[in-house]
Amino acid sequence: MDRKAAAAAARASRREAWERSFSPGALALVGAALSLSLLLMPSPAARAATLAAAAAAAWASGRKLSPILTVSVMAGIVGANLLVPLGRKLYVWGPIVITEIALREGLMKAITFEALVFISKACLGSRLRLPGGVGRLFASALRSYDRILAYKGKIRPASFIADIDEALIAVYAETGDTVGAEPASAGRKAGDPWLILPVLAAIAAALLVP
């Protein structure tokens, strides 16, 4: 097995363990609470700690992560914020001026941006079923999506439009009475009660850490 296949197998095994431990509904609620708490945290250190914990959780959930992309996005956000000088000069190198407030704001925004991404990755997935009419429509769309995916191998670049058209005709005919079908219920999982701990920690960090 090459390295890529081994990494994919390891991710799949982590994802299975994650899905066995936590129900999608509980994870989504925790994700919403953590995201809100993060936005209310005044301390950059608390936000950085949340970023680290969320990245670890996203890794444990079996999501594919790219440290290079994360670092380059954060560097881009900090760099863009430095373009407009704000506050005391910390460093001058030719045309590049690093100012204190611009740097602090840039870091805060970059950390928040990536922490929200990792919280979402850890807490959300296609297993989540939404309530109401939009939820039923979404569940139906996911079923059609699975059917279209089955045609993926038959779509060739040389005849892309004709192949997609064939697939759409075939799948559209199969999607009979799917919109009204009830979404599957995932039930509670053993790990759900433990999910209160990160929420309490995040609320404490938002309220108590200056």
Partner 1 sequence: MRSSADKRARLASFLAALAFFLSAVEYMLPRPVPFMRLGLANLPILLAVDLLPFGGFIILVVVKVLGMSLLTGSLFSYIALFSLAGTMASALVMRGLRLAAGRKLSYLGLCVAGAMASNLAQVALARVFVFGPSARYMLPAFLGLGLVSGTLLGLFAQLFARGSRWLAMVGEDAHGS
Which residues are near partner 1 by CB under 8 A? 31-32, 34-35, 58, 63, 77, 80-81, 83-84, 105, 109, 113, 116-117, 119-126, 128, 130, 134, 137-138, 140-145, 147-149, 152, 155, 161-162, 164-165, 168-169, 171-172, 175, 178-180
Residue 143 vs 201, nearer CB to partner 1? 143
Nearest partner of 191 among 114, 126, 122, 117, judged by Cα: 122
Residue 95, Cβ density class (10 Å: 0-12 exposed, 13-18 middle, ≥19 buried): exposed
By residue count, the chain amounts to: 210
Residue 130 vs 186, nearer CB to partner 1? 130
Beta carbon of residue 207, minimum distance to partner 1 (angstroms, whole number): 20
Residue 33 vs 49, nearer CB to partner 1? 33
Residue 90: enclosing H or E segment and its boundaries?
strand 89-93
| Beta bridge pairs of residue 96 | 93
Beta carbon of residue 45, minimum distance to partner 1 (angstroms, whole number): 21
Beta carbon of residue 182, minimum distance to partner 1 (angstroms, whole number): 15
Residue 176 vs 187, nearer CB to partner 1? 176
| Beta bridge pairs of residue 91 | 98
Beta carbon of residue 177, minimum distance to partner 1 (angstroms, whole number): 8
Q: For 30-68, b where at least 16 C-beta lie within 10 A, e where not — what string? A: bbebbbebbeebeeeebbbbbbebbbebbbebbbebeee
Amino acid at site 16: E
Residue 11 vs 147, nearer CB to partner 1? 147
Beta carbon of residue 55, minimum distance to partner 1 (angstroms, whole number): 13
CA–CA separation, 186 and 17 (whole Å): 15
